[in-house]
Amino acid sequence: MATTEQSYFQRELELRREHLLSASRANAGDASLNNLLASVDAALSRLQAGSFGICETCHDTIEADRLLCNPLLRFCLDHLSSDDQRALERDLTLAAHIQSGLLPPKDWCVAGWQARYHYQPAGLVSGDYCDLIESDGAFLFLLGDVVGKGVAASMLMSHLHTTFRTLAGQHLPLQKLVELANRLFCDSTTAGQYATLVVGRAWPDGRVEYVSAGHLPLLHVSAAGVSAREATGVPLGMFCSTDFTVCELTLAPDDMLFLYTDGLTELFNAAGDEYGVGRVASLAKRYAAACPEDLISACLAEMQSFSGGARQKDDLTLLALRRVN
Ligand SMILES: [Zn+2]
């Protein structure tokens, strides 16, 4: 385990220990507090001995995202007791339900724009982020990907959701909004946790401004062709103070913006070829005149035939925005 992770867990465990000690002073004789204290002490001993984060059954590493949520874990997912397995399934089902409630309405429309999206976790919960927020006579569109998968990534996704929903009401210029969100995200993540993200603002007359924090190219789809807009900055949460460049473009009526996560581009076929941004762009070009639903359906159908129906390994999000008259 890296030194930074080790000291992170050390601090987290010591903090839990202090809280448990003061709680058990106030509630002397509470057996559950004493049991927890013993578990925290055992985890601290494992850290000292170098066996922290190793499954006691198979001696393989315990999934990092689970360990971040609960540093007291002693077993990997494959070696949970059946009671623990059932509890985990209940928690995940509830988390998935909460997460689906964070998504924007499926039939989203505002003056001058129509948006459709497809949000598909690889497991029960996703580390992808997708939102549409009306503010100041325009709307914000957001699509991102928190590094990793599963529960820890989904918690950071919901953190992003809350952050941007809160900041959207503050009448901030886009650059300031992303800088603040970055700082808040940095403060709440540990080393190695970050998110790639596109944050854009669109007006009814077709004007668009956006920041792409290390995300895959944003595609501007028009009758003239497809133009790929590369990232304008580093991922969110990587550096606490960094500038994000705002880019602008104008969409003519019927033009579209197409955004996606690496669940699309990092799809592989049986021959081991990656789907890649080039294929996304050529698909978008063929469907330039389609409505957002049809572009998304065509994309899903092409993914299916490209991968030969293989099981989805990564969280997937597609977002298509069309300027309408
Ligand atoms: Zn194991």
For residue 191, what pLDDT is reported? 66
Structure-token pair, residue 104: 């924007």
* CB under 5 Å of ion ligand 1: residues: 55, 57-58, 76, 79
Rounded to the nearest whole angstrom, what is the distance from the C-alpha of residue 60 to the centroid of ligand 1?
Answer: 6
Q: pLDDT digits over 235-266, tens only? A: 999 888 888 999 999 999 999 999 999 999 99
What is the distance in A from the centroid of ligand 1 to the CA of 50?
Answer: 17
Task: For residue 73, report the distance from its CA to the centre of ligand 1, in Å.
Answer: 11
Inter-residue contact 131 to 165 (CB < 8 Å)? yes
Q: How far apart are CA 321 and CA 299, in angstroms?
A: 15
For the beta sheet containing 207-213, the strands, ordered from the edge strand earlier in sequence to the opposite edge, are 128-135, 138-146, 195-202, 207-213, 247-250
Non-local (6+) Cβ contacts of 54 within 8 A are 46, 60, 61, 62
Section 183-212 average pLDDT: 91
Tokens of 113: 């724009």
Contact at 8 Å (CB) between 95 and 126?
no
* pLDDT score recorded for residue 175: 95
Count of positions (residues) in the chain? 325
93 Cα: distance to centroid of ligand 1 (angstroms): 23
Q: Are strands 207-213 and 195-202 parallel, antiparallel or unpaired?
A: antiparallel
Question: Which pLDDT does position 153 carry in this prediction?
Answer: 86
Q: Decide: 322 and 253 in contact? Cβ < 8 Å.
A: no
Which amino acid makes up residue 246? V
Q: What percent of the chain has pLDDT over 90?
A: 72
- Per-residue pLDDT, averaged over 128-149, amounts to 92
For residue 67, the CA-to-ligand 1 centroid distance in Å is 13
Other CB atoms within a 10 A radius of the CB of residue 102 amount to 17
pLDDT at 189: 76
Centre of ligand 1 from the C-alpha of residue 55, in Å: 5
pLDDT at residue 95, rounded to an integer: 87
Gap between the Cα atoms of 185 and 160, Å rounded = 7
Residue 149: its pLDDT value, please? 73
List, in order, residues 6 or more apart from 38 with CB less than 8 Å away.
none
Element spanning 225, H or E: strand 225-229
CA of 85 to the centre of ligand 1 (A): 13
Q: Which residue has the higher pLDDT, 66 or 177?
A: 177
Side-chain half-sphere exposure of 266, counting CA atoms within 13 A: 11
- How many CB atoms sit inside 10 A of residue 22's CB? 10
Q: What is the pLDDT of residues 280-311, one digit of tens each?
A: 999 999 999 999 999 999 999 999 999 998 88
Strand ranges (DSSP E) for the chain? Answer: 109-110, 113-120, 128-135, 138-146, 195-202, 207-213, 218-222, 225-229, 247-250, 256-260, 316-323
> Could you tell me the distance, in angstroms and rounded to a whole number, from the CA of residue 16 to the centre of ligand 1?
25
Query: What is the CA 186 to chain-centroid distance, rounded?
Result: 14
Instruction: Report how far ligand 1's centroid is from the alpha carbon of 53 (Å).
Output: 10
The whole-number pLDDT of residue 299 equals: 97
Give the pLDDT score at 311.
84
Name residues whose C-beta falls within 8 Å of residue 110's C-beta, 6 or more positions apart in sequence.
134, 139, 204
pTM for the whole structure: 0.81
pLDDT in tens, 37-79: 999 999 999 999 999 999 999 999 998 878 888 899 999 988 9
Supply φ then ψ for residue 185, to 5 degrees.
-65, -45
Average pLDDT along the chain: 92
Please list, residue by residue across 229-249, b when 16 or more beta carbons sit within 10 angstroms of its beta carbon and e when fewer do.
bebbbbbbbbeeebebebeeb
C-alpha of residue 82 to centroid of ligand 1, in Å: 14
Q: Distance between CA 275 and CA 236 in Å, rounded?
A: 25
